[in-house]
Amino acid sequence: MPGVALAREYKYMCSDPGQELIRQDIRDHGLDRIVVAACSPHLHEKTFRHAVAEAGLNPYYFHMVNLREHDSWVHADKPAAAAKAMDLIRAAVRRVRWHVPLERRQAPIHANALVVGGGIAGIDAALTLASAGKHVYLVEREPTIGGHMAQFDKTFPTLDCAACILTPKMTAVKSNPNITLWSYSEVRRVEGYVGNYDVEIRRKPRYIIEDLCVGCLECIQACVFKQAKVPDEFNLGLGKRKPVYIPFPQAVPQLVVIDPETCIEFKSGKCKKTCVEVCAERNAIDFKQKEKIENIRVGTIILATGFETFDPVRVPYYGYGLYPNVYTSLEVERLVNASGPTGGEIVLRDGRKPATVGIVHCVGSRDVNTNRYCSRVCCMYSLKLAHLIKEKTGAEVIEFYIDMRAPGKAFEEFYNRVAEEGVSFVRGKVADIYPAGNGDGRLILQAEDTLLGMVRKIPVDMVVLSVGLEPRPDANDVRRLFNIGCSGDGFFLERHPKLAPVSTFADGIFVAGCCQGPKDIPDTVAQSGAAAAQALALIDAGVIELEPNTAYVTEDACCGCKTCIPLCPYSAISFLEEKKARINEVLCKGCGTCVAACPSGSIRQNLFEDQQIFEEIGGILTYA
């Protein structure tokens, strides 16, 4: 092949001896370009660039042929794949000739961090960062932190009380001087780049002056609404709250909120304002409060925006919303909970105690009509609910499952324990739920018992739908806001499923918890710890090295047509006063969109110069 001075075959070129071979050959033969045709640049581009650099050559005089994703993994026809490998090598040899030396650049990293979402993932990540001495902004959309975990009663498989283990962490957030907690707030704008993100946060008015409210809750007592009439969000509408309320007793921050949709003062302006009277000289209520905008600069961001439970109305044959005795699992969590709407009594909407309870697994999971994926937590929380229902009511509990998935630590043991407690199991997906028809209010669960090989119709008093976990409905907007990706199921996409599980394709932005995919609390906390560690590694490095494969404008040539500006997914292109485009190379990720679009060919890209690409095409199209 023209231009090739030395070709070597070596089984493990990425090993130390393999790299040494490359270094030795560079020194012995005066090689000035290196091509490695091996697995994948994903894995070893850095390895070989480093080896080449150690031998005194510019690391960008190296090019790696991707024989894995571009060839062996995607072809079954071996001789054709071998021929393609040769084409790819020829292309690389022709391209690398045109490589020029490039330098990696550095950008400083701002030491503050932003954590978005105040569930257990966000709380844990914020506490970890704060305990390392970093200043953390924790932004939560709801009036309180705590997230879904605060709604749970017990946690599987240990049956720890969720509140008992969560609330100390919540108060630790509030009291930590390194954490600025902004609840009832949302991120509205994100600009900048790794190490230097400029973030705008909108703080919604809660009509309470935070610094003045002492959390005495007397205003709630005093509200002109003697009875709570508004469906209470925290209890999923199973209970009621007043227009002035606190989501739950241990809420953090311990501040009330006024809901302008239902407050008489907001509706009519003619309320007696007994709340203001009782607040008296504290004077913490402010009906004229406006939203507030905060602007901060942070070096790194952890997204922990959580999940939404599947809305079973989308599976109409389960009758949720139609039959009052069909509940979601999260509703039952609230019913079981001592601070819930029934004080921990498991009773039906008509006040009766259920004698038989059917728990339906995989509602909105493992189903081509809803979500194909397994939500991972439902089997175990269903077992937990079965245990709690049995414990509290003595009811007969029957679980309808497809497969029982209990792979976590102590999960299988928990399954056995619940089975031994007398919970029944029917292996079959429930096909239909309908009233018994004899007026006793019972519901028939119809399922094919695949172990018995027969259809069973089992009457129950209460149905619990074990709903799956879904991305937040606005996950796509959030994804765009932070410039990260989503996988096919809509959860945030990690950079690599195995080797970069908390990183995203936006440098300096990490994910933790269920926003990345369904997971239980231990996995969530492990992941938030990992995200915090990654964020710390970035912050403590102080500077970040940037790949030089960025695009640049040849400003003499640019005619200022602005075609490129709206195309950049990273907002890296600005329009200068002298009517030229300029690319901020720190922001540029080298995606090449502007390069392809520039109508006058005035934007070029390091490592993807036209000449290099045409040589590559030529190499592939030259049949040897």
Partner 1 sequence: MKPKVAFYWCASCGGCEEAVVDLDEEILNVVNAVDIVFWPVALDFKRRDVEAMPDGSILASFINGAIRNSEQREMAETLRAKSQVVVAFGSCAQLGGIPGLANLFDAKEILQEVYGDGVRPQMVHRENGHSLSLPEFFDTVLALDRVIGVDYYLPGCPPTPKIIAGALHALLGADLPPKGAVLAPDHALCEQCPRKDTRPEKLVLKEFKRPHQMIADQQTCLLAQGLACLGPGTRAGCEALCPQGNMPCTGCFGPTSRVRDFGAKALSAIASVIDGNTEAEIARALDAVPDPAGTFYRYSLPSSLLGRRRMG
Amino acid (1-letter code) at residue 210: E
Instruction: Report d(CA 126, CA 148) in Å as an integer.
Output: 17
Taking alpha carbons only, the member of 525, 529, 528, 518 closest to residue 405 is 518
Instruction: Report d(CA 15, CA 490) in Å as an integer.
Output: 38
Say if residue 253 is preceded by a cis peptide, omega within 30 of 0.
Answer: yes
Instruction: Report d(CA 551, CA 544) in Å as an integer.
Output: 18
User: Which residues ranging from 127 to 186 are in contact with partner 1 (CB under 8 A)?
Assistant: none
The smaller minimum CB distance to partner 1, of residues 450 and 600, is found at: 600
User: Which residues ranging from 235 to 274 are in contact with partner 1 (CB under 8 A)?
Assistant: none
CB of 91 to partner 1, least distance (A): 17
The smaller minimum CB distance to partner 1, of residues 436 and 576, is found at: 576
The smaller minimum CB distance to partner 1, of residues 386 and 588, is found at: 588
CB of 582 to partner 1, least distance (A): 13
Six-digit token string for 132: 């390392």
CB of 196 to partner 1, least distance (A): 22
The smaller minimum CB distance to partner 1, of residues 81 and 565, is found at: 565
Binder among 133, 324, 601, 618 for partner 1 (CB under 8 A): 601
User: Which residues ranging from 191 to 230 are in contact with partner 1 (CB under 8 A)?
Assistant: none
The smaller minimum CB distance to partner 1, of residues 543 and 617, is found at: 617
Q: Is 413 helix (H, G, I), strand (E, B) or coil?
A: helix
Amino acid (1-letter code) at residue 458: I
Cβ pair 286, 208 in contact under 8 A: yes
The smaller minimum CB distance to partner 1, of residues 7 and 559, is found at: 559
CB of 107 to partner 1, least distance (A): 25
User: Which residues are bridge partners to 439 per DSSP?
Assistant: none
Cβ pair 469, 518 in contact under 8 A: yes
Instruction: Please count the other Cβ atoms lying within 10 Å of the Cβ belonging to residue 193.
Output: 23
Taking alpha carbons only, the member of 345, 573, 361, 373 closest to residue 463 is 361
Q: Return phi, psi of residue 114, to 5°.
A: -115, 130
The smaller minimum CB distance to partner 1, of residues 447 and 598, is found at: 598
Instruction: Report d(CA 140, CA 14) in Å as an integer.
Output: 45
The smaller minimum CB distance to partner 1, of residues 20 and 610, is found at: 610
CB of 110 to partner 1, least distance (A): 27
Contacts of 284 (CB under 8 A, 6+ apart): 208, 209, 212, 213, 214
The smaller minimum CB distance to partner 1, of residues 176 and 593, is found at: 593
Contact range with partner 1 by CB under 8 A, out of 9-17, 60-68, 455-463, 597-605: 597-605
Amino acid (1-letter code) at residue 539: I
Contacts of 234 (CB under 8 A, 6+ apart): 150, 151, 241, 247, 248, 334
The smaller minimum CB distance to partner 1, of residues 488 and 566, is found at: 566
The smaller minimum CB distance to partner 1, of residues 30 and 566, is found at: 566
**Helical residues (DSSP H) of 280-354, grouped into ranges:** 329-336
Instruction: Report d(CA 335, CA 356) in Å as an integer.
Output: 16
SS3 of the chain: helix, strand, coil, percent, to 5 = 30, 25, 45
User: Which residues ranging from 537 to 596 are in contact with partner 1 (CB under 8 A)?
Assistant: 554, 556-567, 575, 579, 596
Instruction: Report d(CA 331, CA 239) in Å as an integer.
Output: 11
Contact range with partner 1 by CB under 8 A, out of 236-244, 354-362, 440-448, 599-607: 599-607
CA angle 210, 184, 514 (to 5 degrees): 140
Q: Return phi, psi of residue 257, to 5°.
A: -130, 145
Taking alpha carbons only, the member of 610, 619, 606 closest to residue 59 is 606
Binder among 432, 455, 614, 618 for partner 1 (CB under 8 A): 614
The smaller minimum CB distance to partner 1, of residues 80 and 561, is found at: 561
Binder among 100, 451, 597, 621 for partner 1 (CB under 8 A): 597
User: Is residue 621 near partner 1 by the rule CB under 8 A?
Assistant: no
CB of 611 to partner 1, least distance (A): 10
Contacts of 595 (CB under 8 A, 6+ apart): 551, 603, 604, 605, 608
CB of 596 to partner 1, least distance (A): 6
Six-digit token string for 538: 């970035």
The smaller minimum CB distance to partner 1, of residues 392 and 580, is found at: 580
Binder among 235, 466, 602, 612 for partner 1 (CB under 8 A): 602
Residues binding partner 1: what is the number (CB under 8 A)? Answer: 24
Instruction: Report d(CA 586, CA 583) in Å as an integer.
Output: 9
Instruction: Please count the other Cβ atoms lying within 10 Å of the Cβ belonging to residue 454.
Output: 9
The smaller minimum CB distance to partner 1, of residues 136 and 581, is found at: 581
Taking alpha carbons only, the member of 129, 98, 182, 206 closest to residue 540 is 129
Cβ pair 299, 109 in contact under 8 A: yes
CB of 583 to partner 1, least distance (A): 14
Given the rule CB under 8 A, which residues bind partner 1? Answer: 554, 556-567, 575, 579, 596-602, 610, 614
